[in-house]
Structure 1
Amino acid sequence: MTETPAASLARPLIAGVVTALVGFTSTFAVVLTGLRAVGATPEQAASGLLAITLVVGVGCVLLAGRYRIPITVAWSTPGVALLAATGAVDGGWPAVVGGFLVSAVLILCTALFPPLGALIARIPPSIAQAMLAGVLLPLCVAPFVGVVEDPWGVAPVLIVWLVASRLLPRWAVPLAFVAAIAVVAVELSRTGAQMDAAALVPRLEFTVPTLTVGSVIGIALPLFIVTMASQNVPGVAVMRSLGFTIPWRPAMLVTGLGTAAAAGFGGHAMNLGAISAAIAAGPDSHPDPKRRWVAGVSAGGTYLVLGALSAAFAAIVLLAPAGVIPAVAGVALFGAFGSAVQQAIDDPGERVPAVVTFLVAASGIAVLGVSAAFWALVAGLLVRTVLHVGRARR
């Protein structure tokens, strides 16, 4: 039976909507958690979520529409998890915003100066993934800490996530968030508290950026590295496996400029989609690869709509009992944590440097105002150099 033109168009449109819904609802809580951890007020964190959602939507529409490829961009989930583990830096929130801006400049430099991208590619994947795993560890244990401290609030989230992981894996985290909303509703009815209507109106709040040593070395560099190594490079690989070639320089220009535009309003970083790319660019989107680009445009439009609703999502997070939203953020990162651990220790020859990197990142130490993520890279590369020096000659 021949598919009608309307049905042929509907499939990639729906795939794009699903891509954006899954991407947003799965990790927006991680974004708010990370921004609050580095010093953002609730209003500044909500502004950051709105800004990064809007630039992601525009980026999807521009790249997919221009190149007729189902390119999707997303915010850097590993990057915002890094922020959650970093905590406050010298100079406060303005310095963090300055770090976001420096990271944007570095992303742009990978488009304008290819050797910089090649330099990042030379960082051993085991080291980069071990750093990411160490950063994610505290967030991933939060659901289990929360279920002990507040079983009535956190247990429903974990139960829904587990059942959905078995029956509807793609929607497991969004459904866990729905369970969190139910917990919030019960809490509001029990306490009689009310949601402030003014908090539901999305607002952008500009912060004048400043630069400190801690923000450049502790925020900008690790954010840039983890975004490139854990998002952009896998995003290119996923698209290649589906038969599409990413236009690297335009993609880095769009994501770099988008990051720069969002930085002043609290947006941390945008990058090529990896997991979301498989939804929009896969065969379920449309049997004909030449028609799947519509899914990228549809995802972008959906992100713009979600941006208008982002303030409501942020308000729900503020009303949730302690432990509920960290539980949602934790289960959202289980997959990323498992993948990072696997890649970090997959090569026996790289295992010891990876373990050192992981442990330093997980320790949360800060030296000279610089976060553990940077020192984890330094320690891992140092151990790797010492263990491997002269090995090639022998």
Structure 2
Amino acid sequence: MVSGCVDPSVPIPPPVPSKAYGHQKRYGMEDAAAPGLVRHNCVSTATRDMWDRLFNDGYKADVVIYTDNGDTIYAHANIIGTASPVIKGMLKQAKRHGKWHTISIRGVPHDAVRVFIRFLYSSCYENEEMNQFIMHLLLLSHAYVVPQLKRLCEWHLEHGLINTENVIDVFQLSLLCDFPRLSVISHRMIMKHFKEVYATEAWIAMKKSHPFLEKELRDSVIIEENMRKDRIRKRNEQRIYSQLYEAMEALVHICRDGCKTIGPHDKDFKPNHATCNYEACKGLESLIRHFAGCKPRVPGGCVHCKRMWQLLELHSRVCADSDQCRVPLCRILKEKMEKQSKKDEVRWKLLVKNVLGTKKIGGSPFFLPVTSSYSSVS
């Protein structure tokens, strides 16, 4: 052929696909030209319609698919065998009756099988059909090894089709059909809505057919509840330790600098005293006033005094320099530690560790470093 000449018998090649084809909508996004009909790649709408028409008309079909209730679906061996390796193997084993292959797909509704076979042709489906047969399509996609449909079913379940009524079935199928992500999602929903799920028929059926799985789920709920309670307990404890640390700071502030109308005896208070930045000062101020005026003032004689004694002892244990400290009884209580029982000493050291541990960064210079409190406990 001479260069530059075009042979009229050679068809003109199609244009190069534009970059826009690489940005097609995925996973359940509707095609603008046909609402409800989902498109998944750059194949044109006309081509998809042609494949749908080939399936619906059954033109030169050579496969008969038997479904439940004796219903049949006609298909083409080359198409469905190429789309599914399992069906390809079934067709090789199927006996030919004249020009027809015969295979059976049972255990799911006839309409679900029809939606499945249509997908093998054109990768299309109606949203209503997906909503209605999602569980059957999930099973069929796994049994006949159709990865694209399998991913679509998983996506639709994750984004709205899974609910408290079908979550048990989804969970069981996800374990059976190797859907690790879907099993995690369904398990979380079971844990979150256990009371509603427990009352469903699916749970009752699972209890009869898979009692071990039912027991594992109940055990998971118990473990999850215990972990939730443990998190709440630790959060409450952390809040208490933080409040005790703030109380220790406020106590040093009151005894060293004074706060409003209370403080050391040599402090000269002025009417325009600066605003206090310690939130714990308000409650601690009234507690100190009570402690100073209470007649019993013994550790076991008054509830409020007992609390003040505990705060003073805690301070003596976290104080970095008792010789320079202006908190009352600090050095006396620190010397008293040596006479305490080993059990009380361990308990106090653990409390000190937790209190100082709330301020690992930027701790007060008047308190022991956190590392010291940790080593003292061990």
TM normalised by structure 2 equals 0.20
Q: Which has the higher contact order (CA 8 A, sep 6+)?
A: 1
TM normalised by structure 1 equals 0.20
Structure number with higher helix proportion: 1
